[in-house]
A and B are shown apart, each in its own frame.
Chain A
Amino acid sequence: MNFQSKANKYVCPNDRQLSLRAKLRTGWSAARSEPPLTPSEREAIAAVVKRAEKIDEVEAKRVGRLVARLEGMRRSAQGPAPRTCLLCGEASRLLAPLRTCSICRHTACSKCVIENLTHRSPLYSREAYMCNLCAETREMWKKSGAWFFKSLPKYILPDRRTTGRYLDSELARSLQEAGNSSNDGKTDSEPGSPLSIHAPSFSRQASNTESRKSITSPHDTHYEWSETDILSHGFSGLSLHRQDSLTQRPLAALKRTGSKGSAYSLRSIRKEMKPTTQVERPPTIPDAGFGTLEIKLAYENATSSLAVTVLRARGLIGMDMTGLSDPFCRLEVLPREGTYSNRLRTKTVHKTKNPEFNETLHFFGITESDLAVKSLEIVLFDDDTYGCDEMGSATVALRECTKSPAQLRLALSGSSGSEPTGPRVLLALCYSTKRRALVVTICRGADLPSQDSNGYSDPFVKLHLDPDPYHKKHKTSIKWRNLNPVWNEEFLFETRPTELSRQNLTLTVWDKDYGKPNDFLGSLVLGASSKGRRLKHWMDCIKFPDHRHESWHSLTDTQHL
């Protein structure tokens, strides 16, 4: 949907689209058919979108609770071991035989297992049990809507001070504390065993540190940085970063609807509304969880230039595995004039959530009349070799710089653009506990660059895991003359979940050529060392095995091997 509407601006749509449009009478030129929305209309839509955002936040919190609950269960689980229960660690006894879960194939005692009534068919009669963990995962999958969207929607993990760390209460805690010692013992004694099919190595470590901490300092507000925090915060940050499919896309759509001049619609409405409300009460800024940004504005009449000093940002969301980010700011004065884009960026500050930028950037050619109507958009990105992820954005009306204290603190709001744009691929990951392999499905590509003289490419994808003891490399088929190929091909990489958290999946997209070397179209790296969206996808895949996680990822043109 996205690429079609993007393409139709300059490219004549294909026959199917044309015929459809003829029927719908929308016309085939996007610019002609829609008169720009009036301000009141924009406001009405913005209000609805805002209302929807509230609902989505509630939903995200609810999903977060589900995820946290499952994580709690997983942490307190004893881990698979022969002849003991996966969850409570009870050994097999004559009168209470262990059942085998039909999903994860681990043994669990009769208390930790539910009968899978739906599988009463003769085919499955032998294995009509499901361990509580798998049952809970399934339930979570259903309740979160992940069954429909094929990956977890955005979620906000609950604050641990408000809700208990373990939602399944005292029992889980006591179990965990009792279990930790035995766990450690197990890890040491059988390092090679697939101990943590369910919980990859780091989360297990995390659980240990966490429980230790909970004993020593249960009331710390600003706890020290530990692995646990990194993990959970990294995740909550990431999940916040991830956008809901419903709310954000319309903004992009709205943006498209208007024509160039008065174009920028909804986003700008919100922009115009936001700064005014925020600036009036600078000390207490409602922090949406994306952190704050301090800037200074100064306008010079003589040179008609605007100097923006980006001072610092605080409490940014974490993007990488360690919960830190490499932020930089991109500044732009909106609305744009013509095609000329007035964009500036700061330097990147590495490995921090509280960067000190202290950098002054100058916008030239800004008249005084511009000050009244234009606004400054600041978007924070996370610098990464494989594409930049947006961490948050803020907008100030330029008229703010005429007011006396030109130093402003802005609350960053969530990033826009849920789906990546530009060259991208749709990828599904699934760790299959039965096959003990990572199943990678290359679903489709979109907006790939053209490399052949006919304006098309002949794309195919090469993929491998790194490091991989089996040195497996895979290739998809070649889709001839196609910039939006649909592959739907599945590949298997044998690996352990513990390994998975150390491995990277590298994808490269190529254009097949005969008689000369293949042209490079783009690449993508997913793994524990990747960031943002890619990291989230990877971690979701590890955290929730046996489920398909689908996500779009943008390709970068840097070739790294």
Chain B
Amino acid sequence: MAKTYDYLFKLLLIGDSGVGKTSILFRFSEDAFNISFISTIGIDFKIRTIDLDGKKVKLQIWDTAGQERFRTITTAYYRGSMGIMLVYDVTNEKSFENIKNWIRNIEENASADVEKMILGNKCDLEAKRQVSKERGEQLAIEYQIKFIETSAKDSLNVESAFYTLARDIKAKMEKKQEASNPAGARSGAHQIRANEQQRKPTSWLSRCSLL
């Protein structure tokens, strides 16, 4: 345990059963791929330390079971995670449609400022593709979430997906510090005032529209 690191980010992989969450994680952590399908029991996690702008970032990536019977266990891990990857299978229409439900699920269970990302996995299987890349992009734009198509089998974009998410979290962290920085004292007051200013006009508008 002598290995030190600067930050610990907790990430979470969610998505329907069989979309390849475990494979993605396996590829990222061990750089390997296993063709056989072994359903995850409840939860699992893997660790990998990456280097981001000279900082050592330890990623603790939680892999959840897509199966419903583990839902209670898996949702318990939403709150503690800083980044969530929503995975769907490009050869499975249903898993893509379910992304919306997963996002609702995140909204209900995860903390509000969690970083999200959508992954369309198995993009190597062009012949069996049911969900086009454009549709994935469309969905991502709709929710304002980053999107990337990956293939755990061909090791396509898996690294970059995790790096992107980690970088986003790190950026958010820096930004948060900045926000609280111009002095805690003022910032508090600032925020309140800013909110109030925002609130007032909207209330005016709403009143107008009602009339």
Cβ of A257 and Cβ of B72 under 8 Å apart? yes
- Measured CB to CB, the nearest residue on chain B to A266 is B73
Task: Identify which of residues 233-272 in chain A touch chain B, using a CB-to-CB cut-off of 8 Å.
Answer: 244-246, 249-250, 252-254, 256-257
Q: Is B111 an interface residue (CB 8 A)?
A: yes
Q: How far is the CB of B21 from chain A (nearest CB, A)?
A: 15
Does A181 make an interface contact (CB < 8 A)? no
Contact A253 B177 (CB under 8 A): no
A175 to B191, CA, bound (A): 39
User: Once the chains bind, are A105 and B183 in contact (CB under 8 Å)?
Assistant: yes
Contact B75 A55 (CB under 8 A): no
Known contacts A138-B177, A141-B177, A254-B72, A435 near B185 by CB under 8 Å: yes
| A residues near B5, Cβ cutoff 8 Å | 62
A26→B69 CA distance, assembly (Å)? 8
Assess whether A249 is in contact with B173, with CB atoms less than 8 Å apart. no
Given A250-B76, A253-B76: A546 and B178 interface contact (C-beta under 8 Å): no
Q: Is B128 part of the binding interface, using a Cβ–Cβ cutoff of 8 Å?
A: no
What residue in chain A is nearest B113 (Cβ atoms)? A148
Q: Is B145 an interface residue (CB 8 A)?
A: no
Minimal Cβ-Cβ distance residue in A for B63: A48
A11-51 at interface with B (beta carbon < 8 Å): 17, 20, 23-26, 30, 33-35, 37, 41, 44-45, 48, 51
Which of A157-165, A392-400, A426-434, A474-482 is the interface stretch?
Answer: A426-434
Cross-chain contact A26 with B181 (CB below 8 angstroms)? no
Contact yes or no, B72 A253, CB < 8 A = yes
- Interface size, chain A (Cβ < 8 Å): 60
Establish whether residues B44 and A62, one from each chain, have CB atoms under 8 Å apart when the complex forms.
no
Stretch at the interface among B78-86, B117-125, B131-139, B153-161: B78-86
A499 at interface (Cβ–Cβ under 8 A)?
A: no
- Give Cα A439–Cα B178 distance, bound, in whole angstroms: 19
Bound Cα distance A145, B57 (Å): 12
B183 in contact with A102 (CB, 8 Å): yes
Partner of A246, one of B7, B41, B80, B185: B80
Cα distance A249–B72 when bound, in Å? Answer: 10
A25, A48, A119, A149: residue with the most chain B Cβ atoms closer than 10 Å: A48
Are B7 and A143 in touch, CB under 8 angstroms? yes
A546–B42 contact, CB under 8 A?
no
Query: Is residue B45 contacting chain A, with contact meaning CB distance below 8 A?
Result: yes
Minimal beta-carbon separation of A541 from chain B (angstroms): 12
The answer to whether A142 touches B7, judged by C-beta atoms less than 8 angstroms apart, is yes
Tally B residues with Cβ within 8 Å of A: 48
A1 adjacent to B184 (CB under 8 Å): no
Residue A364 interfacial (CB < 8 Å):
no
- Whether B51 is near chain A, meaning CB under 8 Å from some CB there, is no
Contact across chains for A20 and B108 when beta carbons are under 8 A apart: yes
Q: How far is the CA of A435 from the CA of B4 in the complex (A)?
A: 37
What chain A residues lie within 8 Å of B43 (beta carbons)?
A: 45, 48, 250
B68 within 8 A of A: yes
Contact of A490 among B8, B177, B192 (CB under 8 A): B192
Chain A contact residues, CB within 8 Å of chain B: 1, 4-5, 17, 20, 23-26, 30, 33-35, 37, 41, 44-45, 48, 51-52, 55, 58-59, 62, 102-103, 105, 116, 118-119, 124, 138, 141-143, 145, 147-149, 244-246, 249-250, 252-254, 256-257, 430, 432-435, 439, 490, 545-548
What would 20 A/B residue contacts be, using CB atoms closer than 8 Å? A17-B108, A24-B68, A24-B101, A44-B42, A45-B42, A48-B45, A52-B60, A55-B47, A102-B183, A118-B174, A141-B177, A143-B7, A147-B176, A250-B76, A252-B76, A430-B188, A433-B184, A434-B186, A435-B188, A548-B180
Could you list which residues of chain B lie within 8 angstroms of chain A, going by C-beta atoms?
1, 4-8, 10, 41-45, 47, 60, 68-69, 71-73, 75-80, 82, 101, 104-105, 108-109, 111, 113, 173-174, 176-178, 180-186, 188-189, 192
In addition to A20-B104, A103-B183, A246-B80, 9 A-B residue pairs with Cβ atoms within 8 Å of each other are A1-B108, A24-B71, A48-B44, A118-B178, A118-B181, A142-B177, A252-B76, A432-B188, A434-B186
